[in-house]
Amino acid sequence: MSALLLCGCQNIPQNLLRTTQPEQQIAESSDFTPEEKSTTSSTQPISRPEHLTFAADPTTRSVNRSGLELKEFELDSAQVIDEITFQSGDTVKVSVWGYPELDHITQIQPNGTVTLPLTGEVLAAGKTAAQLRQSISNHLAPFTTINSFHLRSGDTITALTWQHPDLSHTSIIDPEGNITLPLIGQIAAAGRNINDIRDEAQKKLKKYIRDAHLTLIPEYHNRRVLHDHQVSVLAQQLQPRRVAIIGEVGVQGLTAIEGSLTLVEALAATQLQEKTAKLDSIVIIRDSMTSTPTYQKLDLKAFFAGKAPDQNIYLKNGDVIIVPKTTITKVGDFVDLFFSRTLPVFSWWTALHQASSARASSDSVDLINQSLKEQLDIITINP
């Protein structure tokens, strides 16, 4: 039985530890049945909202304990390097060409947002640079035009009357919200649409000029209007991207993604125990902290034999790689147990990891890895 590490804290709350008892083996020789499991286990699955409850996949999953819709991710999509997405703690530089006063360097906050001049808070976490650039552009869109309903005191309106240049006049909206035009007199302007003002003024003007054609040109004062602006988003400083590797490896814990990282590269860096690891049953859990996690069982034995080149995939930030000691047949059951039994401790570990990233301590990775190694026997799950 292989002990798989799922937490990097030496002071884990005891109520979390009690939720992660060893599960019955899900292997080739296992006689595991859902009925037996429900009578022998005293630990209840994690509570989930009713709308997240789905039927179990009969081919890989005999029962749904976690209440999650667990799906396998496509191997084809894992053969290319994903564009980096921003996360909390990253620092980005936002520039608006032509408007240097809007340039800003900011750190993505724990809630995933950045606060920018003019736009305020914009969600950044989980977005690529291109997606964030588009989002900021969308937030700036209201500032590219003037809402004509917002005429106010201090704005000016120039009136031009066709074939009557002597009636041309520029009037400032007074503190009471009115303008005064030749022949027409006083008209309320503040808060009105310029077209409405023109229609009223032209109607009054026709009392004196039969075929009057009036044009009103507004000029807005103390307004910020952007013209032909272009938004640029650059990564100023990125927090480390990491994956968690647990099981039959010499170095338990976090491994950094430097540019790109394949599964084989990650296992080599963490000293894969080739004599004990079941290379045909390596499990990767992806997006584990979201409502739509995915997984995949990979066969590196076939990859090393030259039969399955697609099994050596590129890893993504946050991936959990489990290297078992026994063969896993129903991978869906195995992953379901991870979420129904071990997720509380894994969430605790992730919270610690995020806090460490936010502090940007150069020693944090070493400390977490050492703590993970020392706690190897605390949390177990039987592949």
Q: Find the Cα–Cα–Cα–Cα dihedral 43, 48, 53, 57, rounded to 10°.
A: -50
- pLDDT value for 52: 28
**Domain total for the chain?**
3
Nearest to 364 by CA among 253, 249, 260: 253
Q: Looking at the whole model, is its pTM more than 0.75?
A: no
What is the mean predicted confidence (pLDDT) over 1-15?
A: 37
Which secondary-structure segment (H or E) carries 355?
Answer: helix 343-359
- Is pLDDT of 365 > 50? no
Q: Count the Cβ atoms, other than its own, within 10 Å of residue 104.
A: 16
pLDDT at 21 over 50: no
Find the range with the poorest average confidence among 131-135, 242-246, 326-330: 326-330
Confidence band (pLDDT; 50, 70, 90) for 379?
very low
> Does residue 373 register a pLDDT over 70?
no
Looking up residue 21, the CATH number of its domain turns out to be: 3.10.560.10
Residues 40 and 126 in one domain: no
Stronger pLDDT, 207 or 17, i.e. the higher one: 207
Average pLDDT, integer, range 42-63 = 39
Q: Are residues 232 and 315 in the same domain?
A: no
Residue 359 CB burial class (10 angstroms; 0-12, 13-18, ≥19): exposed
Share of the chain above pLDDT 90, in %: 36
- Name which residue leads in pLDDT, 284 or 336: 284
Distances (CA, A) of 134 to 113, 122, 265: 15, 11, 34
- Record the tokens describing residue 346, joined without a space: 């894994």
Of the listed ranges 4-18, 69-83, 296-310, 351-365, the one predicted with least confidence: 4-18
3-state class (DSSP) for residue 367: helix
Q: How many beta carbons lie within 10 A of that of residue 198, not counting itself? A: 18
Rounded Cα distance between 39 and 69, Å, is 24
Q: How many Å apart are CA 326 and CA 334, to the nearest integer? A: 12
* Inside any domain, residue 381: no
**Do 354 and 299 lie in a common domain?**
yes
Specify the DSSP element, H or E, that contains 133.
helix 129-140
Does residue 380 fall inside a structural domain?
no
The answer to whether the CB of 217 falls within 8 A of the CB of 171 is no
pLDDT above 70 covers a percentage of the chain that reads: 70
Average pLDDT over residues 315-330: 87
Examine residue 104 and state whether it is found in any structural domain, yes or no: yes
For residue 40, tell me if it sits in a domain.
yes
Statement: residue 7 has pLDDT above 50: no
Q: Tell me the backbone φ, ψ of residue 354, rounded to 5 degrees.
A: -65, -40
Which range is least confidently modeled, 177-181, 287-291, 308-312, 364-368? 364-368
pLDDT at 61: 56
Same domain, 189 and 313: no
354: alpha, beta or left, given left = phi > 0 and alpha = psi -120 to 50?
Answer: alpha
Q: Render pLDDT for 101-136 as a digit per residue (tens, 0 to 9).
A: 899 999 999 999 999 988 889 999 989 999 999 999
Residue 60 CA from chain centroid, whole number = 29
**Looking at the predicted structure, is the pLDDT value of residue 20 above 50?**
no
Q: Looking at the domain assignment, is residue 311 inside a domain?
A: yes
Residue 369 domain flag: yes
What is the mean pLDDT of the segment spanning 174-196? 92
Residue 108, domain CATH: 3.30.1950.10
147 CB burial (10 A radius; 0-12, 13-18, 19+):
exposed
pLDDT of res. 376: 37
| Within a domain: 7 | no
Question: For 247-306, what is each residue's pLDDT tens digit?
Answer: 888 887 788 888 889 999 999 998 998 888 989 999 999 887 777 888 999 999 999 999
Domain that holds residue 111: 91-145+226-237
Residue 138 and residue 160 in one domain: no
Residues 6+ apart with CB under 8 A from 93: 103, 104, 105, 232, 233, 234, 235, 236
- Do 323 and 281 share a structural domain? yes
What end-to-end distance do the CA atoms of the chain give, in Å?
A: 8
In a domain, 382, yes or no: no
- 221-235 confidence digits (pLDDT tens): 877 778 778 999 999
Per-residue HEC secondary structure of 163-177 comes to CCHHHCEEEECCCCC
The confidence score (pLDDT) of residue 348 equals 64
Higher pLDDT, 333 or 243: 243
Q: Is the pLDDT of residue 220 over 70?
A: yes
Query: Looking at residue 338, what is its pLDDT?
Result: 78
User: Distance (Å, rounded) from C-alpha 340 to C-alpha 225?
Assistant: 53
Q: What pLDDT sits at residue 109?
A: 94
pLDDT above 60 (res 57): no
The residue type found at 366 is D
Q: Which tokens belong to 173?
A: 């909206």
Tell whether 281 and 350 lie within a shared domain.
yes
62: CB partners within 8 A, 6+ apart = 32, 33, 34, 56, 330, 332, 333
Provide the 3-class DSSP secondary structure of residue 262: strand
Residues 125, 47 within the same domain: no
Residue finishing a domain among 183, 210, 237: 237
**Residue 39 pLDDT > 80:** no
Which one is predicted more confidently, 52 or 91? 91
Q: Element (H or E) spanning 179, and its range?
A: strand 178-181
Strands 242-247 and 320-323: parallel
Q: 115 and 230 in one domain? A: yes
128 in the same domain as 47: no
Q: Do 251 and 366 fall into the same domain?
A: yes
Same domain, 281 and 341: yes
* Token pair of 119 as six digits: 């736009």
Tokens (6 digits) for 117? 């001049």
Looking up tokens 């959990």 gives 320
